Amino acid sequence: MKEASEITTEILDLIKHWEPKLESLSDIAISGLKNNQNRSIKMILGHLIDSASNNTHRIIHLQNLPDPLTFPNYASYGNNDRWIAIQNYQDEDWHNMIQLWKYSNLHLCHIIKNVDNTKLENRWIAGPDRLISLEEMIIEYLKHFKLHLLEINDLILLGEKV
């Protein structure tokens, strides 16, 4: 997949940019402000940790299990909010969360770089009448990653106005 190196390079660049930015945030900034989904910065980062974990498993399974892959979609029906609540990211150590976010995404980049290109058309059953190829999933991961970093940025900017 020729886009793999571009995708991983962009993820790695975002990690380099965001890690010190996240480390510099105050407790009030990371826990006190909420977006329109009622998520704090800690909760959004927790969701990104969950996303890296789930996508790691999907990418591996899509390369070694029969096509189409049956694998739970943790984001369906509000389950991603349940994951955030069950793990209680709001009370997690912030530094540990940043490191987990960083290293889980570094590992995901390594996995993406090593995807078997003959498996890129293997599909995951993402929902009723919704199949997503391994290639599409990798491309969409970057978009999802950036979307949630923008949400964090919006909350940082909101905090600066308060």
Q: Out of 95-99, 129-133, 142-146, which region has the weakest mean confidence (pLDDT)?
A: 129-133
Residue 75 has pLDDT above 90, yes or no: no
Confidence band, pLDDT 50/70/90 cuts, at residue 128? confident
- The CATH code of the domain that includes 121 is 1.20.120.450
Q: What is the pLDDT of residue 14?
A: 98
Into how many domains does the chain fold? 1
Confidence band, pLDDT 50/70/90 cuts, at residue 162? low
Give the mean pLDDT of the chain: 93
| Distance, first Cα to last Cα, the chain | 45
Residue 13 lies in domain: 3-161
pLDDT digits (tens, 9 = 90+) for 41-64: 999 999 999 999 999 999 999 999
